[in-house]
Structure 1
Amino acid sequence: MRGLIRVGLAGVVVFGAVMTASPAHATPGHGVTAEVVWQWTVKDTDYVLREITIRPGGTTGWHRHPGLVFANVRAGTLTHRMSDCATVRRYRTGESLMEAPEEPRAHLGENRGSEPVVLDVVYASPKGVPLSADAPDPGC
């Protein structure tokens, strides 16, 4: 199974950031579409491959994931902001990312470019749990 994920995707997506103690509200994403390519369950883990497209100016909204997330940027440049308000990374076509479930920080994915960002994303999450959960806006 691990070999299939490694071979199927070149890497891993991790979007993370620290939540603040001040009250805040979740931020909805916009300009994002996601299509399930395949999914299966093995014992207590759901494996899902999704193609995610972020239009220019689009954002995922602040969120975190309950399981491992692996992603490969197929097209465009993904800007990844973390809720510590200091960490910003850019992932270009052909680059990969990973997010571990023990990462306490929330994150936001954005398309600041002029062409769509297309991601191939594999989620390995606890069975029956949503792939992501909204997180408060840290005020960055």
Structure 2
Amino acid sequence: MRRTVRMLAVCGLAAVLTGGALAGCAQPGQLGDPVEKTTTEAPPVADLAPAPRLPQLLGSGLVEEPVQIGTPGPAVYSVRTATLPPGVSIAWHRHPGTETTIVTAGAVTLQLEDACDPVTFGAGEALFVADAVPHTLRNDGDVAAELVVAYLLAPGAPDQLSAPAACPAT
């Protein structure tokens, strides 16, 4: 209340000195004086916070052989999205680490070295490529394939390296 009285006194004095009202001077109720309440109180902040969302499963897959992942030192894990348009293929390549890819829309066909029979993965399915295994990925469908790709690589290693074709073209 003292603050209000002082401000009003200063504004009143300034108004007298300048010969009129002074713009920017506080009106009753603007500096903490009680005024009649005309609105309802807002709900507590906790009521406004959205409910936590549980993790959403984007896809899953089965690795049919035992998997052992080890690194000789630190590793960098990166996750990206990618789009593979219809009719497009990624040339034979390998990664200096592992790759896990989830297909979230469309479909892709994977060929692995030593497993040349192509395997198609649709939306909601995931594929796994072990460390340094040459492979190719293509979209034989009519719609774009949307992918979430995760790599586990040594720090500073390239995402992928070229590899010679390991299977005859299909």
TM-score after normalising by structure 1: 0.65
- How many aligned residue pairs are there? 105
Equivalent pair of 2:116/2:167 in contact (CA under 8 Å): no
- TM-score normalised by length of structure 2: 0.54
**CA contact 1:63–1:133 (8 Å) conserved in 2:** yes
Tell me, in whole angstroms, the C-alpha distance in 2 between the residues paired with 1:88 and 1:129: 28
Q: Select the structure with the greater relative contact order (CA < 8 A; seq sep ≥ 6).
A: 1
CA-atom RMSD in angstroms:
2.7
| Higher-Rg member (1/2) | 2
Greater fraction helix: 2
Assess if the C-alpha contact under 8 Å between 1:85 and 1:138 holds in 2: no
3-state DSSP of counterpart to 1:63: strand
In structure 2, the CA distance between the partners of 1:134 and 1:13, relative to structure 1 (3 Å rule), is: farther
Q: Which residue is 2:158 aligned to?
A: 130
Q: Within the alignment, does 1:60 sit opposite 2:90 as a pair?
A: yes
Identity, % of aligned positions: 30
Q: 1:64 to 1:125 in 2, by over 3 A?
A: same
Does 89-98 or 79-88 show the bigger shift? 79-88
- The whole-number CA distance in structure 1 between the counterparts of 2:93 and 2:62 is 13
Give SS of 1:56's match.
Answer: coil
Q: Is the 8 A contact 1:12 1:70 kept in 2?
A: no
- Give structure 1 stretches of 5+ with no counterpart: 1-5, 15-42
- What is the rounded CA distance, in whole Å, between the counterparts of 1:127 and 1:80 in structure 2? 26
What secondary structure does 2:91 align onto?
A: coil
What's 1:86 paired with? 116
Could you list the per-position Cα deviations for residues 51-94 of structure 1 after superposition, in whole angstroms to 9, with x for gaps in the alignment? 11111010111001111211110011110122347321110000
Gaps of 5+ in 2: 1-54, 64-72
